[in-house]
Amino acid sequence: MILETLAAIPTPQLAAFVLGGLVLNFTPGQDVFFASACGIQGGPRAGALAGFGVGLGVLFHLALAVIGLGAVMAAHPEALTAVKYAGAAYLLFLAWKSWNAGPVDPTARGSVRPWNIIRRGALSNILNPKPVLFLLAFLPQFTRPDYGPIWEQILGLGLIFAFTGTLVTMGYGIVAGYAGQVLGRRLGLVNKIAAVLFAGLAIRLVAK
């Protein structure tokens, strides 16, 4: 069982993993900026939903890492490049939609469509090949054969990392959502700000 396998990992090592994961979670990256952009555009609820969607995307990459497909993708740079450019194209599409969208009131009833925002968050993460490469590099550092099956260790540690990362990303999205409400009342530029963030993420994705 996964819980038994995690229990076999020494507490200091498991604590070091959680602490290291939290440091990485709190470091702003594409997921954080994406949730923040959604929060600025749609309010705190939209930011939280986007963060949740991003977390679902992380689970997708974790599944690839566990079954070995992540390693296969890492060995074929052309596949990673294709996914990366697809992700950039998707972000540019969101930027275009945001730039041309009309004024939005995040507090208005029906202004936030949960599934659409969750889907956007998940796709933004799934179409970024970097998470699976990160998981393949980060998680094995905390595994040992004597703790149990390696795949169970990777899955268990990955679920912990995904859980903490989702909470942190949702938090960023909520804070950005409240900031967006202030900006919306004062400037009416929330869609333009979100569009610039989405476009910046697309450029950042293909530039590295």
CB contact at 8 A, 47 and 39: yes
Whether 36 is covered by a domain: the verdict is yes
pLDDT of residue 205: 80
Instruction: Judge residue 32's burial from the number of C-beta atoms within 10 Å of its C-beta, 0-12 exposed, 13-18 middle, 19 or more buried.
Output: buried
DSSP per-residue string spanning 115-180: HHHHHHHHHHHHT-SHHHHHHHHHGGGG--GGGS-HHHHHHHHHHHHHHHHHHHHHHHHHHHHHHH
pLDDT of residue 75: 74
pLDDT of residue 108: 52
pLDDT of residue 188: 54
185 lies in which domain range?
A: 31-102+112-207
In this structure, the number of other CB atoms found within 10 A of the CB of residue 149 comes to 12
DSSP conformation class of 110: T
pLDDT of residue 186: 55
Whether 162 is covered by a domain: the verdict is yes
Whether 4 is covered by a domain: the verdict is no
In this structure, the number of other CB atoms found within 10 A of the CB of residue 138 comes to 17
Whether 14 is covered by a domain: the verdict is no
pLDDT of residue 101: 72
CB neighbours of 143 closer than 8 A, spacing ≥ 6? 150, 153, 154, 157
CB contact at 8 A, 130 and 54: no
pLDDT of residue 172: 96
User: Cα(173)–Cα(33) distance, rounded to whole angstroms?
Assistant: 8
Torsion angle, alpha carbons of 20, 24, 27, 33, to 10: -160
Residues of the chain with pLDDT under 70: 73-74, 102-112, 184-189, 208
CB contact at 8 A, 98 and 191: yes
Place of tokens 């989405």: 198
Whether 157 is covered by a domain: the verdict is yes
Whether 134 is covered by a domain: the verdict is yes
pLDDT of residue 167: 97
Whether 144 is covered by a domain: the verdict is yes
In the chain, the number of structural domains is: 1
pLDDT of residue 109: 47
pLDDT of residue 28: 81
Return the H-helix or E-strand segment holding 98.
helix 77-100
Whether 6 is covered by a domain: the verdict is no
Three-state SS string over 2-68 comes to HHHHHHHCCHHHHHHHHHHHHHHHHCCCHHHHHHHHHHHHHCHHHHHHHHHHHHHHHHHHHHHHHHC
- Quote the pTM value: 0.84
pLDDT of residue 173: 96
